[in-house]
Structure 1
Amino acid sequence: MKLMMISFLAARAVHRGWGCAAAFQVIRSSGVSRSSFSPQHQQQFEWWRHPSRCVGHHMSASPTISCNDAETNLANVLKAAYEDRETDGVQDIIRSNQIVEQLSAKGDVDAVADELVTAAVEASSSNKSLAAILNAILGSCCDSSSGSDETESINNSAQVALAILELIDEMHDEDESTMIKPDIVTLSLVYYSLCNQSNQESAQLILERAQQMSKKAAGSQRRRALAAERRKGSNTTKLDAKEAEKQLQAIYGPDIHILHESDDLIVLSKAAGQVCYHTKKTSAGKISAKRKKAKKGAAPDDDGTKVDISLEDSLIDMNFVLSTVNPVARGIVHRLDRGTSGCICLAKSNEAHMKLIASFFLRRVKKKYLALVPSPSSPSLEQEGVIDALVGGKSAASKYRVVSTYHGDGDESSSLGLTLLEVETLTGRKHQVRVHCTEIGCPIIFDPLYSSFQPPVQASRRKAKKDFQRNKRGKADNTEDTNQSSLPKAISDLETTMIPGQEKFFLHAQSLSIPEFDVDVQAPLPGWWTETLDQLES
């Protein structure tokens, strides 16, 4: 795969008029020897070396920071950075050395794109790692420069990003089986860089492409739903924030709040047990006329479980306009697990959605969580520190701080101490806070995946529903949870009030900061949190 793509890049250098020197620089910077290529490609290289092909072309046409030393060429630098900290490592090494700025300030942006893509191809070990490295390079193009002419450098970086996207497209068209296809993150980063340059015409083309990509990936069911939304037109009336919050609380209870709303986005404090969106639309989450009449579905169904209406469906039913870039769920830029409460942001416009994707990728969004965990048995946990541990096989880092410590009830049956942690995620991995708390010996209370301290009926919503029905018939097993004796009374009391199948645990997305959109909000603690903490303090 690498040989084919590097050969393509070398041929492209010649056809663009850069000459044989540029072609051989592509090969040299990749670290691949000419003898590795097929006889046909070697003949091509010999043809490129002919003097008649080289007249008037010099290496200055292809600026480079690579060298012949395998220890220091750009491909090896990117490879080492990716193996260390994946996309964060690649972005850091490019930013700290101002690689994009230096290259884009010296020469043709197409030549710069060729060199960067060549290095990415050589540094990658799979299509997945190639996509990640290329996106990291594009992310570096979104940065403001600190050079002597900041505006010019930003403009050059944006043009480099656009040239990289065009080159990826060319290589994918040449061979779909070996070259990755741009994804929504790729398009969002290019869009973001072009918007920084105020190149609205090119940015609009990228946006339209992202919309078409989403439409194609969505399937017929979602396309029909979007068509129905368009038919509503201007006849729909959107509720104001206060009225919308009242209706949301009628569905989910008093723990859901609208924290911020603008033309671009809406930030809510989600209730625990509430799902952000359904990947499969089922009758359980459908907002029917019957459920609307019963206070918007707040009343439990016949089996005693709460109606499972997603946040996405609720907002759409209230005529909130949500973006369509996400092919799975409208408006959803990031997600919170069903059992987690707190801050979540949804995009209203496709333009805002693309910028938000870029902001999250660039780590410009700050998120802090509160987690209630068992106090560690050993006093090795510092008051604050950094957790650096893999999550799902990927590098991840979080900062933590001990907020409060609660001692046990003072008797043998309930001696477990609890600790309230504040956790700030420095990377964005699925279940990152939950995994990192477990890594330091403090699994989150009631976490069904990573903690043994959880309600007795918690394995799955389906199992919980069956257990609830068996309890009604008086046939349930009265097995005692081995962990119940170690939980403080405040926690044990809370368990008795939990609805079967309602997944919620002590993890709360406390704050969300998105400087790009002037968002800096804090989500109030849910009522069941404050009641529990008050009991623990007393």
Structure 2
Amino acid sequence: MILTGRAGEGEAGMRLDDGAVRLFPQLSKTRVRKIIDWGGCAVAGAMVRVASRTLRAGEEIVLGVMEPERYQELAYTRDDLLFENDDYLAVNKAAGLNCQRTPYQLKGTVEHAVTLYLRTLGSQEPARVIHRLDRGTSGVMIFPKTKRAAAHISAQLKEGRVEKVYWALVTAEPASDQWEVNAPIAKVGSARYGVATPGREALTRFAVIARGTCGVLVEARPLTGRTHQIRVHLAHCGLPIVGDPTYGGEKAPRMMLHCRAMSFTAADRRPITAEAPLDDPFRDACASRGIILEF
């Protein structure tokens, strides 16, 4: 939820947190301070993270109010990384985290945590988000450490030269062990996509990894990069992902979609590969459906 207000003569000269409480009485001062600290406040169009900042009459104040459970501290150390060299690093994004800053938050996002990690290396480079995972999706995210590396992997992504492997848990039975979906995707709602014409070309290849008593673990390889592509294409096949009610999946502790691996060739011709393990909720969901994973 976004709240917008404008400082008047009564708020002029006040601290930002005190003025915000006057403008938005439904929020406590503690809540306002947390929003400011987490990067969810903008004054006169610029993010402000100092609660004592003095207000001026006429300044617009925008607060991004998110659910209390979304405030999750996030930091990465070298031991947390899936891969690192001079040009790239890879992390295993947890389900429930935003991969990049939103109007609601800066801290607690993967982007911010990677920025902080780069600072520990003495780098002043920003964390460049060159590909995204949905908030409910876990798995590999690769970050370039330099502008040159960012340009290279961005070009590789655009040309379809980055191999991406996802795992998804579904409850319905696929008609075959291998298939592909070549169907255009378009926006069909405020936060919903679907197979529709006209739409953007989208191609995904699927294969069954394991079948259980009441569930199937599916591998997905998207050859294009459309929003919600795997979720939409599986739902289009009558195979909604467990934990994805937006597209007809049954309720679960998390959406059972995981970016298992990413690989590409660096500018110096070295192969770059990162592989992310599954978390316990995903493994438990598989086990409860008779799928026991040995990897």
User: Do they superpose with TM above 0.5?
Assistant: yes
Q: Which residue of 2 aligns with 1:263?
A: 86
Within 5 Å, give how 1:280-299 maps onto structure 2: 280=103, 282=105, 285-286=106-107
Change (3 A) 1:273 1:252: farther
Following superposition, the deviation at residue 536 of structure 1 comes to: 2.8
* Deviation sequence 1:218-275 (CA, Å, 0-9, x none): x9847x99xxxxxxxxxxxxxxxxxxxxxxx98489xx94111112111111111111
1:322/1:331 contact within 8 Å kept: no
Q: Which residue of 2 aligns with 1:533?
A: 286
Following superposition, the deviation at residue 522 of structure 1 comes to: 1.4
2:215/2:286 contact within 8 Å kept: no
Change (3 A) 1:451 1:375: same
Instruction: Check if 1:511 corresponds to 2:261.
Output: yes
Alignment counterpart, residue 238 of structure 2, candidates 411, 431, 441: 441
Instruction: Check if 1:421 corresponds to 2:174.
Output: no
Within 5 Å, give how 1:472-483 maps onto structure 2: none
Following superposition, the deviation at residue 535 of structure 1 comes to: 3.5
Alignment counterpart, residue 211 of structure 2, candidates 405, 413, 421: 405
Q: Which residue of 2 aligns with 1:199?
A: none
Within 5 Å, give how 1:97-246 maps onto structure 2: 221=46
Change (3 A) 1:390 1:452: same
The AA in structure 1 aligned to 2:112 is D
> Structure 2 length normalisation: TM-score?
0.63
State the distance in 2 between where 1:439 and 1:252 align: 37
Structure 2 gaps, min length 5: 1-43, 50-71, 187-198
Following superposition, the deviation at residue 313 of structure 1 comes to: 1.4
Q: Which residue of 1 aligns with 2:177?
A: 383
Following superposition, the deviation at residue 322 of structure 1 comes to: 6.8
Secondary structure, counterpart of 1:316 in structure 2: helix
Change (3 A) 1:351 1:221: farther
Change (3 A) 1:312 1:424: same
State the distance in 2 between where 1:387 and 1:322 align: 42
Instruction: Check if 1:523 corresponds to 2:276.
Output: yes
Change (3 A) 1:536 1:331: same
Secondary structure, counterpart of 1:269 in structure 2: strand
State the distance in 2 between where 1:352 and 1:525 align: 28
Q: Which residue of 2 aligns with 1:351?
A: 148
Following superposition, the deviation at residue 429 of structure 1 comes to: 0.9
State the distance in 2 between where 1:257 and 1:439 align: 36
The AA in structure 2 aligned to 1:418 is G
- Which has the larger share of strand? 2
The AA in structure 2 aligned to 1:385 is W
The AA in structure 2 aligned to 1:513 is S
Within 5 Å, give how 1:31-42 maps onto structure 2: none
State the distance in 2 between where 1:250 and 1:506 align: 23
1:264/1:349 contact within 8 Å kept: yes
2:75/2:114 contact within 8 Å kept: no
Higher gyration radius (CA): 1
State the distance in 1 between where 2:112 and 2:286 align: 32
Following superposition, the deviation at residue 532 of structure 1 comes to: 2.6
State the distance in 1 between where 2:143 and 2:45 align: 23
2:241/2:249 contact within 8 Å kept: no
* Deviation sequence 1:15-37 (CA, Å, 0-9, x none): xxxxxxxxxxxxxxxxxxxxxxx
Greater RCO (Cα-Cα under 8 Å, separation 6 or more): 2
Q: Which residue of 2 aligns with 1:278?
A: 101
State the distance in 2 between where 1:322 and 1:434 align: 36
Question: Superposition RMSD on alpha carbons, in Å?
Answer: 2.8
Q: Which residue of 2 aligns with 1:360?
A: 157
Change (3 A) 1:323 1:251: closer
State the distance in 1 between where 2:124 and 2:229 align: 27
State the distance in 2 between where 1:361 and 1:260 align: 22
State the distance in 2 between where 1:388 and 1:404 align: 23
- Which has the larger share of helix? 1
Secondary structure, counterpart of 2:211 in structure 1: strand
Q: What is the number of equivalent residue pairs in this alignment?
A: 206
1:322/1:347 contact within 8 Å kept: no
State the distance in 2 between where 1:370 and 1:525 align: 9
1:257/1:270 contact within 8 Å kept: no
The AA in structure 1 aligned to 2:177 is Q
